[in-house]
């Protein structure tokens, strides 16, 4: 995993009004938050690197991803849940619990780790609340979470968010179209650069 700390520092610079101590605190928070977020993606779908994937498989996956980014999507729910679905939120909650509660690392502000509202979801803290008992008792491998049924309150919260998202599709369909269009333009510019 590689993080662009220079971009994070640049983003934070505009928020601090030359307060160097505040800037360093925010940079550290954002680096930890981004690390934990990306770690949850890796834990949720682990890669086994003892046998590297065949280059043709990697090329096929990259081509599939590029094609998916360029195609207009008639079903915006795909974008809504892609990579940041209930399984990811559950795994992220467990990653945060383990690094903060068990390892004693400083708590990272939840909107920095995962801005649920930016994805049309409830705040991460609400999901963590529904997972509270599971967070305290689950000691297994995080990739094994998918084999266990999540708590009923967690499922209800996800269903409520998904229902609200689907209800609001009329207002979001233009946003999805704009994002898809922007990605197509980016892909074409990349082809010209290469």
- Whether 193 shows a pLDDT value over 60: the answer reads no
Mean pLDDT of the chain: 77
pTM of the model: 0.69
Half-sphere exposure of 62 (CA within 13 A, CB side): 8
Question: pLDDT tens across 96-150, in order?
Answer: 999 998 888 888 889 889 987 777 789 999 999 999 999 999 999 888 888 899 9
Query: How is the chain split into domains, by residue range?
Result: 72-193
| Distance (Å, whole) CA 65 – CA 190 | 14
Is 77 or 128 the better-scoring residue by pLDDT?
128
Residues 6+ apart with CB under 8 A from 161: 120, 121, 122
What pLDDT sits at residue 192? 42
143 contacts 48 by C-beta, under 8 angstroms:
no
Token pair listed for 173:
């369909």
Which is higher by pLDDT, 183 or 166? 166
């Amino acid at each position: 995993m590689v993080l662009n700390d220079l971009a994070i520092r640049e983003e934070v610079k505009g928020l601090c009004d030359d307060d160097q101590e505040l800037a360093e605190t925010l940079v550290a928070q954002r680096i930890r938050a981004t690390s934990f977020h990306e770690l949850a993606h890796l834990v949720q779908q682990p890669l086994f690197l003892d046998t590297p994937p065949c280059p043709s498989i990697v090329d096929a996956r990259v081509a599939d991803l590029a094609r998916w980014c360029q195609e207009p999507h008639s079903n915006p729910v795909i974008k809504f849940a892609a990579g940041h679905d209930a399984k990811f939120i559950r795994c992220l909650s467990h990653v945060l619990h383990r690094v903060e509660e068990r390892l004693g690392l400083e708590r990272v502000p939840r909107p920095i780790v995962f801005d649920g509202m930016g994805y049309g979801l409830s705040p991460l803290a609400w999901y963590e609340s529904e997972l509270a008992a599971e967070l305290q008792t689950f000691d297994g491998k995080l990739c094994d979470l998918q084999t266990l049924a999540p708590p009923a309150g967690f499922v209800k919260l996800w269903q409520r968010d998904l229902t609200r998202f689907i209800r609001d599709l009329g207002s979001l369909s233009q946003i999805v179209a704009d994002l898809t269009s922007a990605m197509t333009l980016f892909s074409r510019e990349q082809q010209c650069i290469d």
